[in-house]
Each structure stands twice: as structure tokens, then as C-alpha cells.
Copies of this chain bind each other. A is one copy, B any other.
Amino acid sequence: MIVVMAPNAKSEHTDSVINRLKKEGFEVHLSQGVSRTIIGIIGDKTRLTGLALEAMSSVEKVVPILRPFKLAGRDFKPEDSTVEVTPDVKFGGKKIHVIAGPCAVEGENQLMEIAKEVKASGATLLRGGAFKPRTSPYSFQGMEEEGLKILAAARQETGLPIVTEVMDVRNIPLVARYADLLQVGARNMQNFFLLKELGRIQKPILLKRGASATIEEWILAAEYIMSEGNHNVILCERGIRTFETYTRNTLDLSAVPAAKNLSHLPVVVDPSHGTGKWSLVAPMARAAIAAGADGLMIETHCRPEEALSDGQQSLTPENFSETMKQMQDLASVMGREL
């Protein structure tokens, strides 16, 4: 971290910054420029975040130099991590995994039907929401535990491990009892109490990027989980909020190689929420593979026009099957399998 002093800062102000840093155990490095004095700080950066250096007299700004994460960072662990969901399903290796299924579990027949379809097309995990609090309190809110039971039944039938969202700290034990991979939704990416509790279980976590979170903040949210002991975190890019209104979100595919530069964790892409339009899902799914994603999460529904949630962004089984074929061909060019 570097402290830039204001032009014409009095020397006692500079001294007082230096003294404070030394008292806290940091080594400092003074650099006198033509119009600014700069103080370099050497030591454990994570201890610095509590110091409000910017509130000290004559401090113009404080410039971070190092990334603020450790466990999730490439500096800490240069080689790629793999995260195991089941012995057969590991994210981060040669195999690209596709998570498919409806936005919400709506009933046993609905889920079973789509589960068989996506399995037949090559999906390796089944998704479905059991808790669905949505922007409006008047929308369908999910089947709750009944939905989890239906997911488990579909796993029983198809062998596909199941992925579902947990939104409430109180529900972690319940959801963890059923799910193989627990999803943290975009709105909860900085729900730090939830992150900490998930750090204390040993199930793998699929961490969606918040709609207004930088890549660095997203990895820092992974750090929250990891710092409690659970290192099984998979990152999931699902679009950020921008001024564009044609798409529901702006899917930031550069976040795939960027997150992989900064972190060793696997990265998955959700083109369904990322675009909000089913006709854009296939091209963005293909692009995600080409950008180096370790997995895809794709909403599918046998009758999207009857879906209780997000039908406009769901693929039919036919479209999903077609998209899978395109992705398989691309994966093979990329030296991977799908």
C-alpha cells in the first residue's frame, strides 16, 4: 500500500503518518517527488485495512498495491484447483460440466421429465430452485423442503448430483442434507453471515458474482468462505448490471480469464441469467467455452411458456440438446471434454 501526501503537506503531517505506521509494526519507505511525498508500506497488508489513513491530515490518497485476498489468490496457490462435487464430477479439470434444469422446482413430474431430458443430452448436474424469493413479493416463492425432496428423487432416478440455492442461514442444514452443490445467489454474494456459515460446512459452494460486484470483490467473497475452512468454492459469472436494457444483465465473459488470472478457483458461466433471453443462451454458452470456462449453468424447461419463473430465458429440451452438441465440438477444439 502506498500513501500519497497532499502537495505542500507539512512535514509534521508526514511524520505523523510514518509514526503511526511504525507503531503498527510496518516498515516504511519514503519517496520525495517533485510535487508529492509518497510513503510506501511494507508488511502484511491484510492488517492495514483497519487503519483509516485517508482520514489523517494532508493525506491525499491511499493506493493499494497487492490484491486483498490470500487463500483464493494465484499468488498463494499458482496451480488450478479442482473442486469435487462427487467422485465423478470434478470442476476445474479437463472435463467441462454442464448444470441444467429449471429455474424453479414446480412439481415432481415437471422435474423428472426435464431431468431425464438434460441427462440424455449430456448434462452432468441437475439444478432447480426450491426457495425462490423474488424481486416482487407477489411472485411464486418456491416449494421449499418439498422441492428439495423432489430434487433428491430426481437424483435417485437419474444419478445426476443436484445443485440448489441456499438463501437463509437458518436453512443451511436443511439444504445441505439434500444438495450436492450449494449455490449462493448473486444477491447474497456479500451476505457475509451466510458466507461464513457456508465456510464451516464441507459441501462445495457455487458462488455467483453479484450484479454490481467487481471481479476482485467476487474473489474476496470466496475468500470469506475459504477463510472459515471450506476451500471447495466454484465461481459463477452470471452477468453484471449496466446501462444496457436489451439484455437482462451484461454477461461479462472477460471475467472468466480475468478471474483465472487472479485466482486458482474453477469458473462457471450462467448465460441464462446473464442474458435473460433464451435466443442468446446458445451463442453465449459457446462463447463461454471458447473463453475457457470450466462449466456452464443453463436453465431448461420442457414448456418454458408455462414456467413459474424465468421461462423467457429457458431452453426447451430440443434447443438444449442442440446447444450441447455445439459446445461439445468447441470443447474438443479447446482440448477439453464435455
**Contact between chains at A136 and B46 (CB < 8 Å):** yes
Chain B residue nearest to A29 in the complex (CB): B31
Q: Does A241 contact B (CB under 8 A)?
A: yes
4 A-B pairs besides A242-B252, A247-B254 with CB distance below 8 A are: A34-B42, A53-B312, A55-B278, A286-B290
CA distance A170 to B168 in the complex (A): 10
Q: Are A40 and B38 in contact (CB under 8 A)?
A: yes
Q: Residues 178-205 of chain A: 1 if any B CB is under 8 Å from the residue's CB, otherwise 0? A: 0000000001101111001000000000
Q: Which residue of B lies closest to A171 (CB)?
A: B193
Known: A38-B40, A169-B168. A244 touches B253 (CB 8 A): no
**Given A2-B2, A288-B287, A333-B330, A217 and B257 touching (CB < 8 A)?**
no
Residue contact A244 to B251, C-beta cutoff 8 Å: no
Assembly CA distance A34 to B42 (angstroms): 7
Q: Which of A119-127, A147-155, A156-164, A208-216 makes up part of the contact surface?
A: A208-216
Stretch at the interface among A83-91, A108-116, A302-310: A302-310
Taking Cβ atoms with an 8 Å cutoff, the residues of A that contact B are 2, 4, 7, 20, 29, 31, 33-36, 38, 40, 42-44, 46-47, 49-50, 52-57, 63, 65-66, 68, 75, 133-140, 167-170, 187-188, 190-193, 196, 210-212, 214-217, 220, 223-224, 227, 240-247, 250-258, 261-262, 274-275, 278-280, 283-284, 286-292, 304-312, 314, 326, 329-330, 333-334
A76 CB, min distance to chain B CBs, angstroms: 10
Q: Is the CB of A214 within 8 A of B311?
A: no
Q: Which residues of B contact A326 (CB under 8 A)?
A: 333
What is the minimal beta-carbon distance from A11 to any residue of chain B, in angstroms? 17
Asked if A135 and B217 make an inter-chain contact with CB atoms under 8 angstroms apart, the answer reads yes
Contact present for B291 and A283 (CB under 8 Å): yes
A243 CB, nearest partner CB in chain B, Å: 5
Identify which of B47, B52, B286 contacts A304 (C-beta below 8 A): B52
